[in-house]
Amino acid sequence: MTTAYDAVVLAGGAARRLGGVDKPGVRVGGRALLDRVLAACAGARRTVVVGAPRPTVRPVDWTREERIGTGPVAALDAGASALRDESEGEAEGEAEGEGGDRAGTPAPDVLLVLSADLPFLGEATVQRLLDGLAAEPEGEAALLTDADGRDQPLVAVYRSGPLRRELDAMRHAHRGLDGLPLRFLTGGLRTVRVPTGPDEPSASFDCDTWEDIATARARIRDHGAVLDEWITAVKTELGIDLDVDTGVLLDLARDAAHGVARPAAPLTTFLVGYAAAKAAESGTDPAEAVAEAAGKAAALARQWAAEQAEQAEQAGQAAQDEAG
């Protein structure tokens, strides 16, 4: 069973090494860094972003530290507090008989914590963290470790109770949380370390400098998944939430280009999309509609190619007969 979890994304840093630019809004592969991270934690029951509100690829809740810019521990505390306040509000509403989308659903005991500058983080790594924590009943946090073995406390999952315990202890010991390093937090927890996996070897790569941004942008084009990155960026830009077999569409484009004419490829795939949208309006599953329309168009393209081959064969035979 998939572990239920809430998510806190820290998106309020000063980005001094980027000249103070709005780092979560910097685009890599056509998508804002924040949107890329939000896609990785799309399975969260609730997501709170600690930072200045902005349009995002999916709905989230927003909060800020009590004193803006006072560090990741204070930001994490603000996000966790916002989730706790919402859970308590839901519990009160349920007790009073008020409805709600999440009424009657207990708040998850697990909190995913991410920074907003992880361009290559994906759902696979999030799932590995959740699995790592679930496999250790005594564990209080599961931290991703990078290729050099360094812990990544902002690519991690925490059990809510122990996290609150350590935050409260730090607040008491240091008369607040402002400016405290994350190692103070993780040092008091029983941690599980989850190595970066081969499925997402760059999951812990973060963007602190313009050189990091340039590296990320170049890696997207070089790491063998440029087509997937492009398709995801287009779907995000167009507001399309649809998984289709891109191989089918690529085969169709090839058949149309070779069997009809090169410009037929983009025009045919556009018409397939239009036909699929019309079919979806009548209740057909969108992915199935795309597959069906693509199949029909590909068969037509092959018929055109067969006719052309037959015509060429007949022309060649006629030339031989005339020469004979």
pLDDT digits (tens, 9 = 90+) for 208-231: 899 999 998 888 877 567 777 777
Q: Which residues of the chain have pLDDT under 70?
A: 1, 14-15, 87-106, 223-224, 318, 321, 324
Q: Which amino acid is at 90?
A: E
Give 222: exposed, middle or buried? Use CB within 10 Å, 0-12, 13-18, 19+.
exposed
Q: For residue 242, give Cα distances in angstroms to 59, 64, 67, 235, 294.
A: 18, 33, 41, 8, 15
Q: Which two tokens stand for residue 307?
A: 């006719």
Q: Is the pTM of this model over 0.95?
A: no
Report the run of H or E that residue 142 belongs to, with start and end: strand 141-145
Within 3-121, strands assigned E span: 6-10, 27-28, 31-32, 47-50, 61-63, 110-115
- Sorted by sequence, the CB contacts under 8 Å of residue 208 that are 6+ apart come out as 17, 18, 117
Q: How far apart are alpha carbons 294 and 300 in whole angstroms?
A: 10
List, for residues 70-108, the tens digit of each pLDDT value: 899 999 999 999 998 776 666 555 556 555 555 555 677
* Cβ atoms of 7 and 112 closer than 8 Å: yes
- The residue type found at 134 is A
The reported pLDDT for the residue numbered 220 is 83
Dihedral of alpha carbons 237, 243, 246, 248, sign? negative
Which residues lie across from 78 on neighbouring strands? none
Q: Classify residue 197 by its DSSP letter.
A: P
pLDDT of 115 reads 96
- Tell me what pLDDT residue 86 has: 75
The first and second tokens of residue 24, run together, are: 């979560």
Closest of 38, 62, 224, 45 to residue 119, by C-alpha: 38
Q: What pLDDT, on the 0 to 100 scale, is given for residue 162? A: 96
> Smallest Cα–Cα separation from 64: which of 12, 116, 8?
12
Asked if 145 contacts 194 with a C-beta cutoff of 8 angstroms, the reply is: yes
CA distance 106 to 124: 25
User: What's the confidence (pLDDT) of residue 95?
Assistant: 54
User: Are 86 and 61 in contact, with CB atoms under 8 Å apart?
Assistant: yes
